[in-house]
Structure 1
């Protein structure tokens, strides 16, 4: 099935979060927003067909769709990631963030240390709202890449941290953690009894020549990790509020699902229908999308790195670029870029030390993306 990713769908006036409050956020209404991490492409036809078929049933009451959805998750992980998952190990959730936050509550106590790895997705820093103490294990910038600092990480584990929230692949730096890196993490977790809550929502969005390594595929981690993911990033379904946890260890699973039953944070009927259609019928379409995203990323990196004062690198996964703006020599690069007519995410959302960065989402039709890059190139020359 040939898909037209160049087709521009008008999202203004459709209650899309990416297009809401532009004047307040960027100082002008006519910016091209390349910010919120969803895609400006139409949902794949098999997903729409499945949802329309369900819609035609006219009644949307209580359902038994979770079990077939769990089985679809198992088939997807076996086919896409060579990971064997049993249906009973899968728990359906509302979203990944609520999942790992519930994990923090279940598997730690007030006052405990929770390890995160800046720069990282903003909700990872929510520990204080659970009366926990977030401790930082910053990624190290090594050359043109980012790496885990295992010496510093072990220091936190020695100091008593027993829960870590991992971003795998990493948002915003785009690392797809290698098996050997996760193996080194696994050794430390086993040595110090640390539980990893692994956000793997970008795991299906790896670029050519890279392969996602689920945390649960690392030897010994089934007793030390919970994997959280969703079809939402991969198939542009974030508004359907459906995600899942994979918990092979029976003891961890019982504690988590007992808490899940208390808060009733399950999935909705349309999200489950969409997930099953996505995982069972859309693998080849995803491959087409990944080729398009890879070309978008490549073209954008070339254009960004040609602008004096900006630097970025091709991500190994995600459709996101973390752009170093320090060379611009301005206090607020986010504002300067907005003045050029392009709306990006502030780097400080990913950690207070990253105000000289911005994040760009390239999951837009290429004509829109190229116009944004034209604006950026011209605007930065004009406004500096």
Structure 2
């Protein structure tokens, strides 16, 4: 009988070791990736909390300054004369003896203010009557707005009708409109918008707009059915273009003129822009409303906080209301624009 010796399996251990090493390495890579993701989420959460602490402080400062100082045609006059009679020499002398200095102005036309460290925030305050009120636009102004956000001309009639169906209280579909059957879900809200960004929930709106153009004009938008006035002394360039149909050059001419001296009438505004019959004089103001929209940007993260401050006519227990607050994260934006920012006034002055 011939005996044969089994030949050893040469090279078996090395592939096994490599396989085990690969599995262990993969496990470590997954763990490291997960840990890095957790660290990134933790950093984002810390940035968000830090930003909201600063934003709440800035919001309180804005509310305090607005509630305790007079407002002129373009700004909150910090340290200004509160008496109704500017020729009241006794009050003026009393203020002078009390050491009241030259007042400073917190403008309500959307210019940037820099809130110093440790917050490092940029603040913009805008009179609501200087913005584009979606609730007060006629069909012509809506079409001008659509042109700024990339909506095709042939889609305008459907969007205008769908928007009306969205905010009305009935379920009757307008021509080219959209009610529950067209949405395929629970239907439109059938109530006023809670904030301007809800306009994107109107059927067809999100697909029709250019996202980049929408983000650019979003700070200029508000929604308020209780007010339809516009203030030519605080209107943004976009609001001037949409509401009055003026060109960018005409809008800039108006802004330059009002920085020299505020407009006292719609006629003065028309003279500067070279355009007559710009609107109903009863809804064109030269004085701010008691509602102002503020936007707070973080200079160290992409967070943005926005809200609306409403000053009540009278009463010390509730001198103001804050509503329509929203916090957003701007895509691909590292820091807030601060090129033209001026120092934010000291609330303790």
TM-score calculated relative to the size of structure 1: 0.23
Q: Determine which structure has greater relative contact order: mean sequence separation of CA pairs < 8 Å that are 6+ residues apart, divided by chain length.
A: 1
TM-score under structure 2 normalisation? 0.25
> Which structure is larger by alpha-carbon Rg, 1 or 2?
2
